[in-house]
Chain A
Amino acid sequence: MSEHDHDHHHDHDHSELSETQLRVRALETVLTEKGYVDPAALDLLIETYEKKVGPRNGARVVAKAWADPAYRARLLKDATPAIAEVGYAGRQGEHIVALENTPKLHNMVVCTLCSCYPWPVLGLPPVWYKSAPYRSRAVSDPRSVLADFGVALPKETEIRIWDSTAEIRYLVLPMRPGGTEDWSEEKLADLVTRDSMIGTGLPKSPKEVAK
C-alpha cells in the first residue's frame, strides 16, 4: 500500500481493508458464476465513470452559460433539458437544478444523509463530499467549511446551503471571473473547477490558467 493510500484510509488498519478486497473479489466470482453479472458490463461501468463522466462535463455547461445568455436563461429555468442539449443526462442527474451565484448570494451543495451528487455533470463524488466532516458542518457552519477549502467570502454575502434530500441534483453556476470578456467557451471551461460547481470553491482566475 502506498503512502498516499495509507493516508487516505487512516481510520482503517491494513487487515480490515484486505479482508474487504478479498470479499469483493469473492462476491464478483460468485455473482458471475451464478450468471447475475457479466464482468464485461462491470468493466464498462467503471470505464464510463473513470474516463467519460466527470467534472469536465459540468465545466462545459458552465462555460456555455457564461458565454451564451440565452443558454444561461434556459439552464436556470430548467436545467435538465438544458444540460441534455450539451449531451449529459441520466443516472443521478434525472432532475437537475442549476443555482446561480451572485455577488450577494453564494450557493453550496451537500447531502447530509448520504452522498447524492449530480453524476452526469460532475462524475462520482470525491471522498470528502461523502465524509462526516463535510456532511455534518456544511449545514450548520458553512463558513468554517469554506475556510477548510481556503475560501473566505465577504461577511455580508448570504450563504445558501442545499441539502440534497430527494432525487433533485444541484449544480452551482459560479460567477464568471472578470477579464475573460473575449474568451472562447473552451478556454472559459478551463477556469471551472469541480469545487466551484459544488460551492466549496471558486473558479480559477485568468492568471492561474495562463501560468
Chain B
Amino acid sequence: MNGGQDLGGTHGHGPVKPEPNEPVFHGEWEKRAFALTLAMGMPGGWNIDMSRFARENRPPAEYLSMTYYQIWFAALETMLKERDLVAEDEIAAGHSLHPAKPVKRTLSPGDVAKTLHRGGPTERDTNTKAAFKPGDKVRAKNINPPTHTRLPRYVRGHVGTIERIIGCHVFPDSNAAGAGENPQWLYTVRFDGRELWGDDGDPTSKVSVDAWEPYLEPA
C-alpha cells in the first residue's frame, strides 16, 4: 500500500536524533507490548506479513504521529479483534468477558529459547528457474496495490542491475493476504543514486532493494 510507512525519499521529517545510551525499552509498557506481540504470534495464527500490513494500514498522519511500539500495539489489537480473540469491551473492562476461542498453540516459558532460536526462515525449495541472472538490467514495475507489498515507491519505474540471486522466498504480497506463501525468486537489485533521484541524487551513492521476481521486468 502507498501508506505512511513507505518513507524512502520523503522530505520534512527533520534530522536523525540518536539518543545517547538509549535503553532497550522506554518504560514498562513498551516491554509488555513487545512481548505480547511476539507471544501472540503462535496462538493468533497470523504471519509476519499480515503483522506488517496491520501496522502500516492506517492513515499516514496517524502512522507518523505514533511511536513504533504504539504502532505494534495498535496492530496487535487489530489482529486480535479481526479474529474474534478479544473484543473491545474486554479491553475497556480490563478482563475477559467472553469465552476463550480455542487456539492451536501458546508459548510456554520452556519454549521461548528454542522458538526464538528457530525463528521463521523464509527460503523455500522450488522446481522453477530464476528468470534473471547477475548483471541483468531490470525495471522495477510500476505497481500500486492498496494491499501489502515490499516494493517501495521510490524504485518503481526505475532501472537497476541484478546483483545477486538470493533464493526462492515466501512472497509477502500473497502471504499478507492469506493467499499462501507462493514462494518466488528473490534478488538484490542495485540502483544508481542518480537513476532514483535525478540531479538531486548523490552521484557516489548506490541503493539496493531485495525484490521478488513478480516486481521486476527486463529492461
Q: Which residues of A contact B (CB under 8 A)?
A: 5, 8-9, 11-12, 20-21, 23-31, 33-38, 40-46, 48-50, 54, 89-95, 112-115, 123-124, 126-128, 130-143, 145, 148-149, 155-168, 195, 200
Closest CB in chain B relative to A114 CB, distance in Å: 6
Closest CB in chain B relative to A34 CB, distance in Å: 4
Q: List 9 A-B contacts (CB under 8 A).
A: A20-B70, A37-B40, A38-B39, A38-B108, A41-B111, A92-B119, A140-B201, A149-B18, A163-B8
Complex: how many Å from CA A64 to CA B33?
35
B107 touching A38, Cβ below 8 Å: yes
Tell whether A30 pairs with B16 under 8 Å between CB atoms, given A123-B24, A166-B150: no
For residue B36, CB closer than 8 A to chain A, the reply is: yes
Closest CB in chain B relative to A51 CB, distance in Å: 9
B121 touching A94, Cβ below 8 Å: yes
A45 touching B150, Cβ below 8 Å: no
Complex: how many Å from CA A45 to CA B24?
13
Query: Which residue of chain B has its CB nearest to the CB of A110?
Result: B8
A128 touching B19, Cβ below 8 Å: yes
Complex: how many Å from CA A115 to CA B95?
32
For residue B64, CB closer than 8 A to chain A, the reply is: yes
Interface members, chain B 54-112 (any A CB < 8 Å)? 55-56, 64-65, 67-68, 70, 73, 76-77, 80, 85-86, 90-96, 100, 103, 106-109, 111-112
Which A residues are in CB contact (< 8 Å) with B115?
A: 91
Our pick among A20, A36, A40, A141 for the contact of B103 (Cβ within 8 Å) is: A36
Query: Which residue of chain B has its CB nearest to the CB of A132?
Result: B13
Which A residues are in CB contact (< 8 Å) with B207?
A: 139, 160-161, 163
A45 touching B35, Cβ below 8 Å: yes
For residue B9, CB closer than 8 A to chain A, the reply is: yes
B112 touching A41, Cβ below 8 Å: yes
Which A residues are in CB contact (< 8 Å) with B218?
A: none
Which B residues are in CB contact (< 8 Å) with A27?
A: 36, 73, 76-77, 80, 86, 91
Complex: how many Å from CA A36 to CA B64?
31
Complex: how many Å from CA A128 to CA B16?
6
Closest CB in chain B relative to A172 CB, distance in Å: 14
For residue B145, CB closer than 8 A to chain A, the reply is: no
Query: Which residue of chain A has its CB nearest to the CB of B212?
Result: A166
Complex: how many Å from CA A68 to CA B151?
38
Which A residues are in CB contact (< 8 Å) with B129?
A: none
Tell whether A159 pairs with B205 under 8 Å between CB atoms, given A128-B18, A137-B13: yes
